[in-house]
Structure 1
Amino acid sequence: MTVTDVRTPRDAPTRIVAVPRTPLSRLRWAVTDTWVVAQRDLVHWVRSPAQVFSGLLFPGMMVLLFGYVFGSAMTVENGGDYREFLMPGLFALVIIMGVGETVTAVADDAGAGVTDRFRSIPMSRVGVVAGRCLADMMNSVMGLCVLVLCGLVVGWRAGGSLLESLAAVALLLLLRISIVWIGIYLGLLVKTPEAAAAVWTPLFPIAMISNAFVSPEQMPGWLRVVAELNPMSATVTATRELFDNPGTGGTSWLSENALLMAVVWPALVTAIFFPLAVHRYRKMSR
């Protein structure tokens, strides 16, 4: 590796950390470290089968709870089966709730000194946070697959074409990527598992004040506005449309342009929180 400049950590002024010189070598460095960190996080999950099992069990419990317990008393505006209406909302719910796991995992690493260890060795600053993102995305794909299987068992079907169904899954994963960056930033910000637990508190209100479980048209006027502005609602409406499930109606501009907003909202969130997460990692006190 060709090296022409150095970094000197503040807590160890005699330590010299080599930095690749060319943009291509920096990119290769970042990609390599991203995969190393992702592998490390995945190994931790493999060694914690109870945690993995409980995480995969959660989607099935959501289908049972909302599809059968609450769903027996729910109706779909303009008609349709409620479980067909519900499943895209549950897909997005599991995506949103994953931010709590990300915050907790990042805060655990910070509290245990793992993050400081990463900072003290020649690792790409982008690669460390990107590795966590990659590992979380792999975990999310597993959870989403389990939830899709649960939906098929209870009678949910994707009525759209294969290409439309793949596009719907892509939109869900796009939302997940943006949520991961929020979780990484908050985990680096709080730095302790105890503080990370507080992040779970606002997750349910954010998830519930959306179109995941009921149409915003059935909500009070002010609450309908909040639900329609929720980025989760755009993804839910777009995936319902692509899956050809009931509940894609709506007269607002946001509802009529859900496919566009399902891309714009995650892109905007990522554009804000990705640089914030990298900046926070670089500026953390050691």
Structure 2
Amino acid sequence: MTSSSTQARPAAEFPGRSVPGMQRPPAPGALFACRTFAWRTLIKLKYVQDHLGTAVVFPVILTLVFTYLLGGAIAGTPGDYLQFFLPGVIVLSLVASSMMSALTLNRDIATGMFDRVRSTPIWQPAVLVGTMGGDVLRYALTSVVPLALGLLLGFRPDGGFAGVVLALLYLQLFTFSVSWLWMFFAVLIPQPTAAAGVVNLLQFILLFGSNILAPSQTMPGWLEAVVKLNPVTHAATTTRGLMHGDLSGGDLTAGLLACAALIVVFATPTALLYNRKQR
């Protein structure tokens, strides 16, 4: 009785079943999926203190501490050191900030958020592409905050407004490039604690094994040769040259090649590892 009465009821009373005359909504396109994950990344600036602190507080502390604590010992006066150090501290802050999205992706994979995303009918690379696209605003904030503070403290870029804008645009490219390095380890290492340890150690080596804090010419010969192999060194040199208007063609080429090398070496393996996790 119950079975026959159920079968006699119209299909419209069963919302879980298909309704005659209605079509399935179209699947979201790649652009929409990328935009969604970019917005997810931007929201974290408001609700995740680590992201906002790395973008704003960290660069301010670095600029003040190194300029007034070590500037006199390295360059003679804090003012002279600020002219050398400020472009470097922007690079340092951006490299540190670029880790956050990679570590967030690693936590998503470890906690099951990744499994929920890969079960949806979206363009799967949007997770990586959208996250990096949403980071553009955070990188801009991380660049502008120490620059504004440096201008208040007496930093004067000889390259003028155009040189500063070109330097900031180059830094967006470099930060996008180095982000693939962190994304590679975020996808490769499943444990969040282990991934954070490896990324932080590698970041420490890249930042303090560069010419951000002191000119490479003042270092021993063997160390200077190692520092010149560091992509962060070429990024800092390119940024200084653009801001001060004395960038040579060779340094610009080296800075662009450093970006290209990071993308070529790490972007493809990261995408392959990411796609393998979806199977």
Common fold, TM-score beyond 0.5?
yes
Question: Unaligned 5+ residue runs, structure 1?
Answer: 1-17, 249-254
Structure 2: which amino acid aligns with 1:214?
Answer: A
2:182 is matched with which residue?
183
Please identify which structure carries the higher helix content. Answer: 2
Structure 1: which amino acid aligns with 2:99?
Answer: G
1:40 is matched with which residue?
40
Q: Note if 1:102 corresponds to 2:101.
A: yes
CA displacement at 1:84 relative to structure 2? 0.4
Q: Note if 1:273 corresponds to 2:266.
A: yes
CA displacement at 1:41 relative to structure 2? 2.0
Change (3 A) 1:214 1:54: closer
CA displacement at 1:245 relative to structure 2? 7.3
1:261 is matched with which residue?
254
Aligned positions of 1:126-275 closer than 5 A: 126-198=125-197, 199-244=199-244, 257-275=250-268
Question: Unaligned 5+ residue runs, structure 2?
Answer: 1-23
CA displacement at 1:143 relative to structure 2? 1.1
Change (3 A) 1:44 1:283: same
In the alignment, the residues of structure 1 paired with residue 124 and residue 66 of structure 2 have an alpha-carbon distance, to the nearest angstrom, of 41
Is the contact made by 1:103 and 1:196 (CA closer than 8 Å) also made in structure 2? no
Is the contact made by 2:55 and 2:138 (CA closer than 8 Å) also made in structure 1? no
CA displacement at 1:123 relative to structure 2? 1.5
Change (3 A) 1:256 1:74: farther
2:9 is matched with which residue?
none
CA displacement at 1:49 relative to structure 2? 4.5
In the alignment, the residues of structure 2 paired with residue 173 and residue 207 of structure 1 have an alpha-carbon distance, to the nearest angstrom, of 17
Structure 1: which amino acid aligns with 2:204?
Answer: F
TM-score by length of 2: 0.82
In the alignment, the residues of structure 2 paired with residue 54 and residue 235 of structure 1 have an alpha-carbon distance, to the nearest angstrom, of 20
Secondary structure of 1:125's match?
Answer: coil
Aligned residues between the structures: 252
Deviation sequence 1:138-183 (CA, Å, 0-9, x none): 2111111111112112211222133222111111111100111122
CA displacement at 1:65 relative to structure 2? 1.4
In the alignment, the residues of structure 1 paired with residue 242 and residue 50 of structure 2 have an alpha-carbon distance, to the nearest angstrom, of 35
Secondary structure of 1:74's match?
Answer: helix
Is the contact made by 1:89 and 1:213 (CA closer than 8 Å) also made in structure 2? yes
Structure 2: which amino acid aligns with 1:244?
Answer: H
Tell me the percent identity. 27
